[in-house]
Amino acid sequence: MKRGQHPMVLHSSAFLLAIGLLFAAGQTDQFDRWCYPKPAKVEVAPVGQHLPKRIGTWQSAQDELIVRQALRQGIVLIGSSELSHAHQEEIPYRFYKEQLPYPLMAFGQAGHQCGNIFTTLAAMGEDLRGARLAIILSTGWFEGKYAKGTNSDVFLSYHNPRLLHYIDQDTTLTPELKAAAGELAASHFHNIGNPGPLLRKWYYKQKQSISPFHRLVFAPFTATYSLLSEAEHAAKVLQLKAGEIDLDYRIISTKRFLNATSQVPIPVAPLWDKLKSEGSKKAALASTSNNFGINDTYYKEVLAQNQHRPVHPKNLDDIQEYQDLLHLLQLLEHYESQVVFVMQSFHPVVYQELATMDANIEKIQATVEAAGFTFLNLHTSDPEQYEIGTLTDMMHTGPLGWMEINQAIYEHLILPKS
């Protein structure tokens, strides 16, 4: 999927040309991104790893294997730019490796919002069944420009044709979830210079839903690219059978998964209050230039001249990001995943109109909890209630905030349910 301008006119020879390309030597961009070297088998869940913007653009299938194995045997932490702060020893993928050993890995980087999380996890299919996840949301996703949902640059950083075919071919996904994933993928169609047949199928199927007229006009295109999509998938299946790539690691029995999980010892709980108190003190020591816990470097470089930022609240029901969150919840409910959602806050001293977001955050919390998931709400719009260390800057988690998250992970995803 290369970036570029999408051609608006399809030539009548497109069908025959695409068929020829699919069964040719296999040197197209679409083919190359399927043909990965054989990954090494991973017998135990990974510990302390962070995969940034690589989930769909690996040079091998190894990283995909790491994520799937973590879903089966450990805990997967999903977030965005806050996960890049690896220098913080409290960040979960360091804390659960260095201080409280337990198999936990993280993936995600800036821009990894609800729609992107939904489609990447949908590609994991049955590996989500009963999986344990912690998913960090941000107040900023539901206001301003980010409320429009995942942008195309981010989508292209996480997805390749193989992941999209996982979604299309997975018989364990409901038709509604497949349609939602296809619609999200198709929304990026015009920002992809060389969309594959599957993406084209989803795009024209979406076009058909506009009106009876559109249904009639675009029916031949949908039918054509449905056939081409199946042809592409069949070509890959033949390659698999020929041993060119090996995806056997995707088939690991439930029995093996359960046995492996039961062998992971549960660490003894630390003194959480003590750790959180230390986190607050640490943040205070790092913010001598201000009185509200923003680290000195960030404050001097970003906020010293302009401490205040506006907030642009939206009606939740009208924004794409909230619809993407609803799809994500439906997916996780479908596979009976165990999930802790975290709402990361804006800093109430910097965002002085943050109270205008309170109703939306409350509605998001109610929606998540109604779906049966845990919700850790770190959002606060009152500067008097804000605790130093919850954030390290104006929007990213600090040492106290990470300890709150670590405790929620321990109590809801590691300790046995009573």
Q: Are 72 and 250 in contact (CB under 8 A)?
A: no
Which helix (H) or strand (E) segment is 377 a member of? strand 374-377
Q: Report all structural domains of the chain as residue ranges with CATH numbers, in order of start.
A: 14-151+252-418 (3.40.50.1110)
Amino acid of residue 86:
A
Cβ-based burial of 230 (10 A; exposed 0-12, middle 13-18, buried ≥19)? middle
The encoded tokens of residue 21 equal 């390309």
Amino acid of residue 168:
D
Nearest by Cα to 136 from 76, 96, 181, 177: 76
Stated pTM of the model: 0.84
260 pLDDT band, cuts 50/70/90, is very low
241 pLDDT band, cuts 50/70/90, is low
73 pLDDT band, cuts 50/70/90, is confident
pLDDT of residue 418: 63
Percent share of the chain, pLDDT over 70? 78
Q: Helix, strand or coil for residue 31?
A: helix
For the cut 90, the answer to whether the pLDDT of residue 17 exceeds it is: no
